[in-house]
Amino acid sequence: MPAAPAPVATPVPAQPFSDAERATVYRAIAERRDMRHFSGGVVDEAVLARLLHAAHLAPSVGFMQPWRFIRIRSAERRRAIHALVEQERVHTARALGEREDTFMRLKVEGVLDCAELLAVVLPPGREAHVFGRRTLPEMDVASAACAIQNLWLAARAEGLGMGWVSLFDPDALAALLALPEGSRPVALLCLGPVPGFYAQPMLAELGWAQRQPLHALCMDEGWQPTPASVGDPSAPPAHE
Ligand SMILES: Cc1cc2nc3c(=O)[nH]c(=O)nc-3n(C[C@H](O)[C@H](O)[C@H](O)COP(=O)(O)O)c2cc1C
């Protein structure tokens, strides 16, 4: 019997972006910042819905959509989460050796100050999704990161700041949020009004690390050695 023809999705003619629309996309990308300084306030429910919708439009491996967003409303739970983050901040500082003190002086989260706190969690049962993950199971996290980036960019366009906090023990956070066996928290998102956006990544402004020159990160055909300064956070600031 002849094989059935492969199903095809029909592309429709694309509506081009105007120059202004294109510029807006690049502006949101360039001016998105990881924010740790918040000014309290609230996030309008309609805006929050738009942001979550933007997140949900992200690409995902095998279209598995492995993102679950948990909104933390209770002040008590927020304080408990902050305590976990603080614990991990101290462990991280110790693990940094000679940069311990410098790290401890950095603000690395805005959990108690942001208007909204969201946890992003990978759901249980991910092993059933094999498409694109047989050799690279971590593509579930990569997909969730795409959703978070959508949310981040949309938040910037809405004039809201967002900070991604990954300083926590995932098992402890899972217990705190009563997550089911097999799920995994990957992010705490601090979201809300901010006094302003850092002009540059805060870690660059404070000299923790500098943006690497793009040309040193692009290679032709195969791996090529990079200059010794690339990847060295103490190297002088780079200019693209
Ligand atoms: C996966 C991921 C986890 C991160 N975790 C933290 C964190 O725990 N604390 C923090 O201060 N920043 C965190 N960041 C933010 C980075 O420090 C920030 O993206 C980087 O310094 C560049 O700054 P920018 O996002 O403003 O361009 C995280 C970013 C990513 C992508």
pLDDT number for residue 234: 53
Average pLDDT taken over every residue of the chain: 95
Domain assignments of the chain as residue spans, ordered by start? 32-203
Which protein residue's CA is at the shortest distance from atom 18 of ligand 1?
A: 34
pLDDT tens digit sequence for 183-206: 999 999 999 999 999 999 999 999
Q: How far does residue 222's CA lie from ligand 1's centre (Å)?
A: 29
Cα(34) to ligand 1 centroid in Å equals 6
Integer Cα distance of 114 and 193 in angstroms: 7
Cβ–ligand 1 distance for 167 under 6 Å, the answer: yes
- Mean pLDDT, residues 59-83: 98
Rounded distance, CA 73 to CA 80, Å?
A: 12
pLDDT for 12-58, tens place per residue? 999 999 999 999 999 999 999 999 999 999 999 999 999 999 999 99
> What are the residues facing 189 on neighbouring strands?
118, 164
At 52, which helix (H) or strand (E)?
helix 45-56
Q: What is the pLDDT of residue 229?
A: 59
32-203 is classed CATH 3.40.109.10: yes
Among residues 99, 111, 97, the alpha carbon closest in space to that of 168 is found at 111
What share of the chain has pLDDT > 90, as a percent?
90
Instruction: Name the residue with the closest Cα to ligand 1, atom 23.
Output: 201
